[in-house]
Chain A
Amino acid sequence: MKALRLSVTRALGGVALAASLAAPLAAQQAPAAGTATTLDAIRARGSLICGVNTGLAGFAQPDSQGVWRGFDVDYCRAVAAALWNDASRVRYVPTTAQNRFTALQSGEVDMLSRNTTWTLSRDTSLGFDFTGINFYDGQGFMVKASAGVRTARDLNGATICVQPGTTTEQNLTDWARANRIQFTPVVIEQLNDVVQAYVSGRCDAYTTDVSGLASTRSAQARPQEHVILPDVISKEPLGPLVRHGDQRFADLLRWIHYGLIGAEELGITAANVAQAAASDQRPEVQRMLGRTGDLGRMLTVDNAWLLNVIRTVGNYGEVFERNLVPIGLQRGPNALWTNGGLQYSPPFR
C-alpha cells in the first residue's frame, strides 16, 4: 500500500505545489525579507520535516522498529540535535526521485536530505540552494554476473532500467549518444519496482549512482549474483538542499556538515566529545564546541550546538562508517583531504 499512497502523493504533488504557491507567503513559512523564515517555522513547530528517499539501505530506511536510519537520516538528526539537542524531533517524509522537488518547493518538507545531485538548473531555475557535498558519487551500471558483461560498452543493444526525474536518466542518454550506444530504456518511478524489473530480467542492466547500486546490491538475497561495472559515467555530488532564500537555514546545514568533517579532522568522536569540550585545550576545539566565542550564536542556535551534534551522530567518519561501510562502500573520494580525499572544512572562527 506504500506504493499506492506514494503514487497518489506523486499525482497530487504538482497540484499541492500550485495550491501552496497561490497562498500568501506569510501563511506558509516561505522566506521573505523580515518575515517568517523556514527556520522560524521549524522552531515554532518544534520539529523538523525532512524529505528522505523511500528506502535505500545505508542512506535512509526505517529499521524493524520503524526508526529511520542511514547516512542521509543522520543529517536530519544532526539538525534536530543542533536546534534542540534532541535528535528525535524529526518527521521523515519519503519522497521518490520524481516527486522530491515538488515536495520541497511546496513547503511539504523543510529540506531534502536524499542523495540529490547538485546541478546548475536545480540551484537556479528550480529554486533551491544546495548546502554542501556530503557524498562525492558518480553514475554506474549493475548487471547480472551471469550476463557476461565486462564494461559499460558491452551494453550496446541492451535494455536498461532507470528511475525518472533523475540526473541518471539524462546522463544515460548523453553517454549513449556520445558513445554511439543503442539501448532500450525502461523508466519506472518507484525504487522497489525498478529494482524488481531489473532483478526479474525485464532489463539487462540497472543504472543509478554507484552508492545506490551498492545499496541495492547489498539488499539482494544473493549480492554476489550482481556486479557493478567499473565504468563511472558522470559526477554526482550529493548533498542536502533547501528552498532558495532560506539563507539562515542553509548556513546552519552547511556548518553542520563542516562541523562533522572538522570534528573528524581534529579527532573528535561521539565517545570523546564531552571530554574534549572539558579538557581539550586546542583553541579551535574550544570554539567549535562552544566553550569560547559565540560561533553557535552566530548561527542563531545554542552555543553547544556542535557538541550536541557530535554526541548524537558522531563525526563524518563515524557517520560514514556506521551507515555506508556495511553496504560495501569505501571512503574513496570521500576521505578527508588530509588522506587524499575531497572532504575539507573551512575554518571555524
Chain B
Amino acid sequence: MSSSTADPRLASAGPPRRPIRLSWSDERLRAIVWQILVVGIVGSIVWWLWSNTVHNLEVRRIATGFGFLQREAGLPIGESLIDYDPTHSYLRALTVGVLNTLKVAVVGVILATILGTLIGIAKLSKNWLVSKLASFYIEVIRDLPLLLQLLFWYTILQGLPGPRQALNPVDGVFLSNRGMKLPWIEWLPAHNWALLAMVAGAVGTWAYARAMRAKQYADGQPRKIWPAGLALMVGLPLVVWAAHGAPFTPDIPALRGFNFRGGISISPEYFALLLGLVTYTAGFIAEIVRAGIQAVNQGQWEAAEALGMRRAEILKRIVLPQALRVIVPPMTSQYLNLTKNSSLAVAIGYQDIVSIANTTLNQTGQAIEGIAIIMLVYLSISLSISLFMNWYNARIALVER
C-alpha cells in the first residue's frame, strides 16, 4: 500500500527502520523467534494428534475417507424437499438433511422475528393486560429448557385424533396425528414460470420504487408506488400463467387406506420443531426489541407527538428505524442460536442434518468424517447468517458526518 501512497510525507511517517540485530535484546528479533516457536508448537501438536488418529484408526481397522458418500444409503427419510429414495447415495441423503435443516431454520428465523417483534412491542404497550401478558410469556418461555418445550409440543401433536377421525376445521384442511393436510394444486411448469414472473416483478417494483423516491427527493412530489407494484407482482404472473393455458387442478387431500393422499402436508415432527424454535426464540427477540425501542430517546416520541403523529406512526417512522441499530447486532446471535438449536430435532424425530449424519456415521462407522460434515454444515450456515447480518447492519448504520 505504501508504495501507492501519493503523499511522500505519509510514506516516511513510521519510525526510522534499522536493520535487525542478531541479539536477544532486539525487540523485533525476539518477536520473530517467539512467533516461530508458537507456530512450531501448535503445528507439532496438530501433527501429533493427526498421526495418532490415523494410526489408531489403522490399528482398529476402522474405515476412513469420504468414499462412503457415493455408496447407497438405504436410509428411510420421512420428508424431503428433493427427490429421495433409499437407493440414493449417502451424499444425497445428507443433502436432504441440510435442506431439512434450512427449511426449519429459514422459516423459523422469519416467524420468530415477526412474533418476537410483536411481543416486544406489546410489552411496552400502555394497555396493562397486554403488557403483563407479554412479560409473562417472555419469562415462562425463556425459563424452560428448549428440549422440554419441543417434547411438549410433539406430545400435544401426537395427542390429535387419528386420520380416520381427523379434525376438519375448514374444507380440505385435515388435522390429525399424521400432521396437517392442506389442499394444493397440481404443480406444473406453468406455475414455475408464474413464480419466476412474481420474483421478477418484485425486483422490478423495488427498482421502480427507488427511481420514484429519487424523483421525490428532486421535486418534493410524493408518488404512488402500489399501482405499479400490483401490476408487476400480481398482474405479470397472472399473464404468464394465462399464457401457459392457465392450468388449475385442485389437489384435495382425501383419506385412502392408512392415510391421506394428495394435497400438501406438514408433518408433526416439523411442526413441533418449528413451533418450539419460534416460540422459544421469540421470547429472546422480544426482549431485544423492547430494549432497542427503549434505547431511543424519549424526546423523539415527544417531538413527533408535538408534530401530531399517531403512536403507531411514530413507532414505524421514527422509533423503529433508529431502534434497529441497537436491535440488529444481538439479533444475529439469536438467529445463530435458532439454527443451532434446530439440531434438537433428533429428539422428536425430525430428520435434519444431525439426525441423518448420525445415522450415516453409525451405519458406516466413520464418526470423524460424520462429525466433520456436521461441523462444516453449521459453520457454513452460521457464517452466511453472520455475513448477511453484518452487511445489513452496515447498511442501516448511522451515517456519521
Contacts and interface: CB of A to CB of B under 8 A. Distances in A.
A99 B361 CA distance: 10
Given A193-B348, A202-B178, A30 B362 contact: no
Given A174-B74, A186-B269, A24 B62 contact: no
B390 interface: no
B74 A173 contact: yes
Contacts of B162: 201
Contacts of B351: 187
Given A98-B359, A189-B347, A3 B151 contact: yes
B271 to A, nearest CB: 12
A243 B62 CA distance: 10
B346 A173 contact: no
Interface stretch (A39-47, A162-170, A227-235): A162-170
Interface in A189-243: 189-190, 193-194, 196-197, 200-202, 204, 243
Interface stretch (B27-35, B52-60, B188-196): B52-60
B57 A21 contact: yes
A184 B269 CA distance: 13
Contacts of A271: none
Given A25-B59, A164-B362, A200-B177, A4 B145 contact: yes
Is the contact region of chain B dominated by helix, strand, or loop, or is it mixed?
A: helix
Contacts of A196: 155, 158
Given A25-B56, A157-B256, A158-B258, A127 B348 contact: no
B333 interface: no
B258 A162 contact: no
Given A24-B52, A31-B59, A32-B59, A17 B364 contact: no
B78 interface: yes
Contacts of A14: 358, 361, 367-368, 370-371, 374
B252 interface: no
B362 to A, nearest CB: 4
B257 A156 contact: yes
Contacts of A127: 57, 60-63, 365
Contacts, number: 172
Given A24-B52, A158-B259, A188-B349, A105 B61 contact: no
Q: For chain A, give the interface size range.
A: 35 or more
Interface string B55-95: 11101111100000000001111100000001100000000
A188 B358 CA distance: 12
B354 interface: yes
A14 to B, nearest CB: 4
Contacts of A124: 61, 63
Contact of A125 (B145, B159, B344, B365): B365
B395 to A, nearest CB: 36
Contacts of A158: 257-259
Contacts of A278: none
Contacts of A194: 349
Interface string A13-26: 11101100111110
B57 A177 contact: no
A11 interface: yes
A122 B258 CA distance: 36
Nearest to B375: A15
A10 B177 CA distance: 27
B291 interface: no
Contacts of A285: none
A53 interface: no
Contacts of A305: none
Interface of A: 3-4, 7, 10-11, 13-15, 17-18, 21-25, 30-32, 97-99, 101-102, 105, 121-122, 124-127, 155-159, 162, 164-165, 169-170, 172-174, 177, 183-190, 193-194, 196-197, 200-202, 204, 243-245
8 contacts: A14-B358, A14-B370, A99-B358, A157-B259, A185-B76, A187-B349, A193-B349, A245-B60
When A and B form their complex, which 4 residue pairs have the shortest distance between CB atoms, in order from nearest? A126-B365, A185-B76, A165-B362, A188-B349
Interface of B: 49-50, 52-53, 55-57, 59-63, 74-78, 86-87, 145, 147, 151, 155, 158-159, 162, 177-178, 256-259, 268-269, 343-344, 346-349, 351, 354-355, 358-359, 361-365, 367-368, 370-371, 374
Given A126-B62, A169-B75, 17 more contacts: A10-B346, A11-B354, A14-B358, A17-B367, A22-B52, A23-B52, A101-B362, A125-B364, A126-B63, A126-B365, A127-B57, A127-B63, A157-B256, A169-B76, A169-B359, A189-B355, A245-B61
